[in-house]
Chains A and B, each alone.
Chain A
């Protein structure tokens, strides 16, 4: 645990650095430890290890739609944000958060080497993209899915089949070889009933009920 006094001890820096590497290798995630490392880097900028900063950012990107990437970014000096690979990772995240998925896939190729170093990266990004689509759409075309996920042919067929089995998707073929996929309804892709008016507090009504008290 990196809490309390440990979080402010610069001797903990090597340990925190090892933790980042561990997270990459074991597919785990520890936001508190990562932010603690960035905090120590801020105090001693000469010790910044850019590769580890990149790992932290990639790991944070994999947590979307949580704001972890933004949280980390608030602690990374502007100068570094303009350097590679940090600048490229920022651009990738902006494409994802801005739902410009095609642009994202174009840009990610340039960073192939650094994101590949983090196992599970593409799976996490695809899961995020799917989650974004499922939160907005009740139906989606196969073509849109293909574009958003950069997957087609058998890969996409397999993904859709899996989802049909596990999450209740259903597929309707359309003339012309396309397909429309119905996504299950959830709290986000449906319209909520209007909120009903709340009751009134007794304190508010009291003056009206007891005019004699005045």
Chain B
């Protein structure tokens, strides 16, 4: 489908000669794909493509597919794959035009239709298959943002947007339906639920001798994709429900850690959904898992294009964890010590502000760390003076701050409770400068906030049982004189001193050993080499 005349720029590009190195790349890339040589495909996809982009196409797009199609026998599927990379690169280096957005949509549709209905025999690297799903959703999100900003659009552009809308370009339900169709057709849900299925899936990684890994893996990644799309609409329950065949807390045969981007997406959106559902312990568990994962693997990505994104997500997840622990201090007990230390280092003062009920502190962190929400409905093209992009974000922020506002008295209440083992309700009320009925109500609110639904080892990730998550324990009684008394007990959790001591013992042992190591000859005493290994 054509959405307009090709821009003049595209024509002149077409005329530009394709460098020999690029030609060679295309030829070899095509050959390796035909020969199902996954290892080589991966190297070319991951390394060579980035190097050539850096050298020839740092600020411009790759040659249009027509310029290379003859090198690859006009192979239909290869051309779709080439365009997939072409558009991804284009989105990364420039602001795509509406026409390009529409063409990329068409390309994804054709590509997914081939995967769904064609008899695909290819083997492609799983990292690429994840990138496809990831980029598909990213471009959808990007289109929704683009569509929301109508003020500066020319009449022709609005006209074309109408055309796109009626052609279903980046249509919300179509996006969801593609992901769902890929899941259904792949049979991945059934495979993961059969006994030993998850283990087999994890071991083979979808690569089987005589079949293609494309559909099974794209289906698997689409589960994580649905989690993300639902989250973008604020549908947090639907998000976890859609993810159900993958349980982020059953890590034994979990495949996602093998693809960093996929694993981070899984826990970032999964954790965010838990946070918005007020399942703080689950949120903390999810964030803790992924933060220690990132700490472990980030060194391997230091030179990859995703490195900056990984670091950004890392910071955002720490911000979400800060919100989680501020709302539910008991969540701290679930964190590894190094995560807890890093959290303190990064946001100790923000956490203490949030714990004192500062709505601004909550808002700052929320707006920094939340997903880029999108409005599902298209804006009214007849009234182009509004910007609908902020709407989706404002709605989510409003709901979140509503909860914070409702709990604004709790920090003070907790502070007073912690000073006593028992205190009469009238006295507590006078300390808080509120009336008795209000304080009794606030105690009920605090009690309710001290328990949250938590996944308890059975069922999918939406299930769970109610668990205590309190940092102060109390109940209301009435004494013989007829006065209401609040009995309090601080729930001091014994920190795992053992691990702390063990770590310091081994650190100390290291120091002692280093000191005892005889000096190596030829090593200058000062300055000590930074990379010295002993």
Interface status of B52 (Cβ within 8 A of chain A): no
- Selecting from A110-118, A134-142, A154-162, the interface stretch reads A134-142
Given contacts A5-B177, A78-B395, contact A214 B377 (CB under 8 A): no
CA distance A133 to B437 in the complex (A): 12
A89-142 at interface with B (beta carbon < 8 Å): 94, 97-102, 132-133, 135-141
Q: Is A50 an interface residue (CB 8 A)?
A: no
In the complex, are the beta carbons of B395 and A77 less than 8 A apart?
yes
Q: CB distance B406 to A77 under 8 Å?
A: no
CA distance A158 to B200 in the complex (A): 61
Q: Once the chains are docked, how many angstroms separate the CA of A71 from the CA of B403?
A: 12
Consensus secondary structure, chain B interface: helix
Partner pick for B406 among A4, A36, A98, A194, CB 8 A cutoff: A98
Which residues of chain B are near A26, meaning CB under 8 Å?
Answer: none
Q: How many residues of B contact A (CB 8 A)?
A: 66
Tell me, yes or no, whether A165 is within 8 Å of chain B by CB. Answer: no
B190 to chain A, nearest CB (A): 12
Query: Per-residue 0/1 for A165-197: is the Cβ within 8 Å of any B Cβ (1 yes, 0 no)?
Result: 000000000100010100000011111101111
Which of the residues A135, A180, A188, A197 comes within 8 Å of B498, measured between beta carbons? A197
Quick one: which of A9, A36, A43, A194 contacts B376, CB cutoff 8 A? A43
Contacts of A180 in B (CB 8 A): 478, 482
In the complex, the answer to whether B234 meets A205 with C-beta atoms within 8 Å is: no
Contact residue range for chain A?
Answer: 35 or more
Name the CB-closest residue of A to B444.
Answer: A99
Which residues from chain B contact A204 at a C-beta distance below 8 Å?
Answer: 498-499, 502-503
Contact A136:B447 (CB < 8 A) given known A99-B442, A192-B468: yes
Does B217 belong to the interface (CB within 8 Å)? no
Complexed CA–CA distance, A59 and B30 (Å): 57
Nearest CB of chain A from residue B480's CB, rounded to whole Å: 10
A27 within 8 A of partner (CB): no
| B residues less than 8 Å from A198 (CB atoms) | 496
Cβ–Cβ contact A102 & B437, under 8 A: yes
Cβ contact within 8 Å between B482 and A189: no
CB distance from B152 to the nearest CB of A (A): 24
CB of B377 within 8 A of CB of A136, answer no
Instruction: Tell me whether B276 is interfacial, beta carbon within 8 Å.
Output: yes
Taken together as a complex, chains A and B put the C-alpha atoms of A129 and B241 apart, in Å, by 29
Q: List, in ascending order, chain B residues with CB within 8 A of A197's CB.
A: 494, 496-498
B8-16, B122-130, B484-492 - the one binding chain A: B484-492
Write the chain A residue with the least CB distance to B391. A78
- For residues 142 through 179 of chain B, which have their beta carbon under 8 Å from a beta carbon of chain A? 172-173, 176-177
Contact between A200 and B499, CB atoms less than 8 A apart: yes
Contact A75 B235 (CB under 8 A): yes
Task: Give chain B residues whose Cβ lies under 8 Å from the Cβ of A196.
Answer: 494
Query: A141 touching B489 by the CB < 8 A rule?
Result: no
B377 touching A45 by the CB < 8 A rule? Answer: yes
> Among A38, A73, A137, which residue has the most Cβ atoms of chain B within 10 A?
A137
Of all chain B residues, the one with the shortest Cβ separation from A135 is B447
A-B contact pairs, 9 of them (CB 8 A): A8-B176, A10-B173, A65-B448, A67-B278, A70-B277, A73-B399, A81-B395, A191-B475, A214-B513
